[in-house]
Amino acid sequence: MPQVFKSNDQRYLKMIEEVQDYAIILLDRDGTILNWNKGAEKIKGYPEKEIVGKNFSCFYLKEDRETGLPQHLINEAALNGRAKHEGWRLRKDGSTFWGYIVITALHGDNDEVIGFSKVTRDLTERKLAEDRRDRDARNIALQNKQLEEFAYITSHDLQEPVRKIQTFARLLEKNISDEGQVQKYLEKINLSANRMVTLIKSVLDYSRLSQTQEQFIDTDLNTVLQAVKEDFELLFAEKDVTIIANDLPVIKAIPIQMHQLFFNLIGNSIKFNTHEPVIEISTGKVQDKDNDEHFDSEIDYLLLQFTDNGIGFDQKYAGQAFQPFKRLNSDYSGTGIGLALCKRIVDNHRGYIEVRSAVDKGTTFEIYLPM
């Protein structure tokens, strides 16, 4: 042991030894650990006899050791007097903590560096809280952006029927003595007003679909399908609808949203069909999705497929299908919110929805849901 540490001042020893919130240790010129305190044992997990004599680089992550971070820090301390760093460090059991480290160079009589004092504080709690705050801020920013876009689309689409009501009102006024014209324009005004009501209702439906308050519980998709079939009982009979479904699994989901998802998809398949609708609901294996950015590689997914024999649409417009108020077909009435609702529901369940279609060849929806 170098000259300077031979004197055994009990006060200094006491001051450092029992401190629990900071690891305060002594390193020699090469980073070898010379002593230990209670804080070091608490933060890093090693008892004194196991660690004294080892190099302090064992606290560093493998990648940091490979890039030479420990060496870099003591070099910086030797050059500048001290080095500060914050980063992930390793405990004895392999777990990590977020450490705030100050390494101070200690000098001998001739001003040469004879060792280092290293003080470490465990700031894991604070780091996790900061990360959570950043994530929340990003989420809020994203939600605000989505809200802005939605408000833009909504106000735009709601202005349409308003403008028409104004236009037809003026024309009605101009043609006030022509009873036929008056009737015609009154009818149009009523239709536009009804359309506004429908649009507003769909805006509300869309904005109400949130995930945060709802509970995910075991949901039997067969039960969901049965309930939706009951909702559509009359329509099924009227349009001669056939549903072919194999046995569906039970998944953790929000039942009321699953109901709405099935309802919207089946409703669409019936509507956009010029003859007897046949809808197939099947489940399948999820393959080759590990490299797909939409999927979390650590979770298993269920593939739920809805295939119909309806009018279909040109696949090049598939990107528009799930956008709010975007309709792919003006010949059929609707608000264009149905599929946007489906997408929102699938997003709430951290899944993914895709569509494949071709004109007059039917449409297939592929829904991936975490199991």
Partner 1 sequence: MDKSRSATKLIPRLQGLHSDIFMFKFTVCNTTNTLTMKNIRCIIIDDDPDDRELFEIALENSGHPFNLLPLSSGSKALEIFTDIEAGDIPDYIFLDLNMPLLSGKECLQEIRKVSVLHITPVIIYSTSSYHLDIAETKEYGATHFLTKTPDIDRLSVILGKLFSKTALPYELS
In the complex, which residues of this chain contact partner 1 (CB under 8 A)? 156, 159-160, 163-164, 166-167, 169-171, 188, 313-314, 317, 320, 326-330
Q: Quick one: 125 or 187, whose CB is closer to partner 1?
A: 187
Q: Please name the residue ranges forming H helices in 218-313.
A: 221-231, 233-239, 255-271
Amino acid, res. 138: R
3 state SS of 244: strand
Numbers of helices and strands, H then E, in the chain: 11, 11
Residue 78 CB, nearest distance to partner 1 (Å)?
Answer: 58
3 state SS of 90: strand
Residue 152 CB, nearest distance to partner 1 (Å)?
Answer: 9
Are 251 and 221 spatial neighbours (Cβ–Cβ below 8 Å)? Answer: yes
Closest by CA position to 308, among listed 270, 271, 362 = 362
Residue 247 CB, nearest distance to partner 1 (Å)?
Answer: 37
Residue 271 CB, nearest distance to partner 1 (Å)?
Answer: 15
Residue 352 CB, nearest distance to partner 1 (Å)?
Answer: 24
Provide the b/e sequence for 62-96 (b: ≥16 CB within 10 Å).
eebbeeeebeebbebbbeeebbebeeebbeeeeee
Q: Quick one: 188 or 356, whose CB is closer to partner 1?
A: 188
Residue 185 CB, nearest distance to partner 1 (Å)?
Answer: 11
Q: Quick one: 110 or 330, whose CB is closer to partner 1?
A: 330
Token pair belonging to 1 = 């042991």
Closest by CA position to 253, among listed 213, 218, 299 = 218
Q: Quick one: 219 or 357, whose CB is closer to partner 1?
A: 357
Q: Which residues neighbour 19 within 8 Å (Cβ) at sequence distance 6 or greater?
A: 37, 38, 39
Q: Quick one: 67 or 159, whose CB is closer to partner 1?
A: 159
Q: Quick one: 289 or 326, whose CB is closer to partner 1?
A: 326
Q: Quick one: 104 or 181, whose CB is closer to partner 1?
A: 181
Q: Strand locations in the chain, DSSP E?
A: 22-28, 82-90, 96-107, 113-122, 217-220, 242-245, 250-253, 278-284, 301-308, 352-357, 363-370
Residue 208 CB, nearest distance to partner 1 (Å)?
Answer: 25
